[in-house]
Structures are given as structure tokens and as C-alpha cells.
Amino acid sequence: MNPLKKLAGQTAIYGLSSVLGRILGYLLVPVYTRVFLPGEYGTVSVFYAYASFLTVILTYGMETSFFRFNESDHDKEKVFSTGMISLIFSSVVFLFFASVFAQPIAGWIDYADHPEYVLWFAWFLGLDALSKIPFARLRARNKAVRFVAINVTNISVNFGLNIFFLLFCPFVLSHDSWSFLSGFIHIVYRPGWGIEYIFISNLVASTVTLILLIPQFAGIRWKLDTKLLKTMLIYAFPLLFAGMAGMVNETFDRLLLRYLLPKDIAAYQVGIYSACYKISILMTIFIQAYKYAAEPFFFAAAKEKDAKILYARIMDYFIIVVSFIFLATMVYLDDFILHYLIGKNYWEGKGVIPILMMANLFLGVYYNLSIWYKLTSKTAWGAWLSIIGAVITLTLNFWWIPMGTDHLIHGYLGSAWATFICYGVMMVISYLVGQRFFPVNYNLGKFFGYLGLAFFLYLVSVYVVPGGLFLRVLFHSLLLVFFACAAYLVEKPRSASSL
């Protein structure tokens, strides 16, 4: 099969679970932003920001290390069992300490009244960590359909329980016509709880997922190869730092908003910012699906003589897709996306959306470029690049967040611009350093051309606003068609060729 078609097919399959997950996840955003006040939703965002950091620590780069050694080591079962034994040991240690010290940890992060939050989070994070290598094994063996089926189950359980606890249970208790269910509802539902059910739903979904992954352990000879483990950890160790620094770039702004702003507005601003961040739904769906397919694909394709040509062509098509997604999101933002995804109480933050969309586009390009240090085993560079980004993120957030309202950049707007600059710098440095160690002839003309065209058409949509919804939608759709036609005309001469 044409390798580009193979990658596109795998991305499409993985995209099914990503699309469903994001769609259901974003269907919960209107629920959350209507059921909870911005301050309450801000609390949820803070806890999930902590969860992002702990996920990186608990997996410590073993997922990527598995891909690396699964391709190079003939005894694939040994690679799997060694990685799994390592994760099982570290997860058990984590769960023991988190369970014993839940109360002190809750006090340390300013939630002393809710040690149960810490306990629930610890358990679903530990279960998720144990799922990483079984999921990676499915991807490495091209078992995309089973991967998607398990992911969809996880997503459906999480979504269903959220709807059950946050909407259905209160509905039943407030309507006498549903009194025949009230006995059951009183058994499983506590009316005083709210965001607690978000955490519980996640914990149950993670438990179901690990159970469904049990068949991946069948037939494995459980043996710890200490020499292999040492080699895998040496490879993975820089990825741990890269992941930690990456989480600083992706989520630490919500924690800084929580602690750098005055207490009377901090949770409110976190809630506004987090809800608007969710608008990048289409961009994150595509990038997540692409990452699932691309990482094992790039490692496998490295053996081919024309691998670098393939990587360059993939980048061209990647830029087309993410530029189109940016344009589509922005031109339909005011007429559709805001109205259906988030409550009106959160619309005041929409100014950060184009900034965050472009920032996520840069992040997607960075993921594409990062293959050079993984293929050359120079994973320390991944750590350094992420650390550079983390320094930028922290510096700009500490500088801009506390500024008063008389400054153009302050609060969550400062966090958005910090994210934009961070990912832009990481992307540029990764390209420059990568060309030294693993030169790939990326087409920079197409990169700036497609990106520039998308941004120009977005500006046209801002300054040319036809009256009436129908005319606006028609005009914005024509802008998208224009971009698609331009990309088709540029790429058409090459479409008939294959590697």
C-alpha cells in the first residue's frame, strides 16, 4: 500500500475514537458550563491540570521506549513484559503513598476539605498508567480497530455516567412522574455532590478500560530483563523531562492563573479560560489521531530508503489539514461554535481562541518534527526543547498574569499569548536542530504559503461581514472552498505519484 495512504487510513481509524471522544467530551462542556459556575468548573480544570503532570511521571516515557525497542528487539514479548513489570511496580508504589497521604496532599494543594478528590484521582491515574503499554502494543501490531473499540468504550462509560449523575438523577428527583425510579436513584446518588461525579465517572471508565485490555497479557512470559530495562529507562529518561516540561506548556497556565490571580476572581478566570481552550476541538482531534498513527508509522518507515522524502511529503499534507481546521473553526466561531459548545457566561474569553488555535497548530508541527530525535536516539534534545518551552511559559505567565486590567495583556489573555510564543519557539528550534542531526527537506514555501493563506482568509472573514446569517455562512463557506481549491491545485501535480 502507498505509505501515505496507509498513514491516512490509520489516522482515520484512530480518529474515530478521537472524534467520538472529543465530541462526547465537548458535549459535556455545555453541560458543565450550565450546571456549574465558572469557579466550580475552574476547580475541575485545576485537578485535571495536576493529572496531566502525574500521567507523565507515572509513565516516565516507557510508551515511546516500548515503540523504539519493540521495532529493534527480536523478542517483542520480552520488551512488553519488561516494560509492564516496571509500570506495575511504580504504579503500586504511587497508589500506596497517595492512599496513605491523601489528606496531607489535599491540604498541600489547597483542597483540604476534599481528600477524596486526591484518592479518586490517584486511582484513575494509576489505572491509566497501567493501560499505556497494552494500548501501545495494539498500535504497534496495527490493531487499530481493537484500540478504537476499547477507547470508545472508555469514552462512552465516562460520558454516560456524567449524564446519568449530573442530569438524569436530578431530573428524576425533581419530577414526580419519575418517582418509580427514585428509590434506585437515592441508593446511587448524593444530591449534595456535583463535580465529584466528574471524577467518579473517570475512575469507573479507567477501571473498565484496564479490564478490557487484559487479553493483551495473554501468552506473555513474565520475565524482567534487567539489562533491557536499564536500556529502556536510559532511552525514556529524557522523555520524562520532555513530558514534564511539555505539561508545563500545556496545562500549567491554569494552575498559575489559580494561584497568581486574586482569590476572588482566580477560579472564575480559570473556568473561562479552560472553556474557551476547549474550542480548539477539531485541531486537537486531528493532532491526537495523527499522533496515534504517526509514531509507530515513523519508526517502521525509518527502514525505507526514501523515508526522509516521505516525512517531508507528510508534513505538506499535515500543514494543509491543520490550516484548514484553523480557518474552519474561526470563520464559524461566532455563528455556530460558541453557541453550541459553551454557555454564554464563558463567551467573554473568546478573544483567546484564535491565539490558542494557532498555538496548537504550532504544537502539531512540533510533534511532526520531533521524530528526528526519537529516530536518532537523541531523546535528550526532546527534554531540552520542552524545557526551553517551559521556561518561556513560566516566565511569560509570571510576567503577564498578575498585570492589572489597564494592560492589554493580563490574566488568561497573557496565558494564551505565552502558549502561542512557547510552541512557536519550540517548533522553530526543533526544525533548526533537527536539520543538523537528521536533515529532512521540508518545503518551507508550502508551510508559510498554506498557513499565510489560512490566516489571510480568516482576516477577510473578520473585516468582511455580510448581513444575515445565511449570507455570512455562505461567504465563510466560500472562503473554505477557496482554500481547499488552492491546496488541490498546488498538490495535484504530485497526487498521481507515490513512493
Question: 323 near 361, Cβ under 8 Å?
Answer: yes
Dig out the grid coordinates for 308 from the structure: 526522509
The mean of the pLDDT values for the chain is 84
170 has pLDDT over 80: yes
Chain-centre distance of CA 475, in angstroms? 32
At 460 the pLDDT is: 95
How sure is the predictor about 499, in pLDDT bands with cuts at 50, 70 and 90?
Answer: very low
Instruction: Write the CA distances from 416 to 286, 409, 427, 461, integer angstroms.
Output: 21, 9, 17, 22
At 59 the pLDDT is: 87
CB atoms within 10 A of CB 474: 11
Dig out the grid coordinates for 41 from the structure: 468548573
Of the chain, the percentage scoring pLDDT greater than 90 comes to 29
At 387 the pLDDT is: 86
Q: What is the dihedral of CA 11, 14, 19, 20, to 10 degrees?
A: 160
Dig out the grid coordinates for 437 from the structure: 542531526
At 498 the pLDDT is: 46
Ranking 214-218, 254-258, 338-342, 362-366 by mean pLDDT, the lowest is 338-342
Q: Which residues contact 156 (CB under 8 A, 6 or more apart)?
A: 24
Dig out the grid coordinates for 382 from the structure: 526532546
Alpha carbon distance 62, 77 (integer Å): 15
Tell me the per-residue pLDDT of 422-478, one tens digit each, with 9 for 90 and over. 999 999 999 999 999 999 999 999 999 999 999 999 999 999 988 888 999 999 999
Mean of the pLDDT values across residues 170-181? 82
344 has pLDDT over 70: yes
Mean of the pLDDT values across residues 216-244? 81
Tell me the per-residue pLDDT of 253-304, one tens digit each, with 9 for 90 and over. 887 888 888 877 887 888 888 888 878 766 877 787 777 677 777 877 777 7
Q: Which residues contact 443 (CB under 8 A, 6 or more apart)?
A: 312, 315, 316
How sure is the predictor about 72, in pLDDT bands with cuts at 50, 70 and 90?
Answer: low
**In the chain, where the domains are located:** 3-442
Mean of the pLDDT values across residues 167-182? 83
Across 22-36, 42-56, 182-196, the highest mean pLDDT is recorded for: 182-196
How sure is the predictor about 92, in pLDDT bands with cuts at 50, 70 and 90?
Answer: very high
314 has pLDDT over 80: yes
Residue with cell 533491557: 228
How sure is the predictor about 11, in pLDDT bands with cuts at 50, 70 and 90?
Answer: low
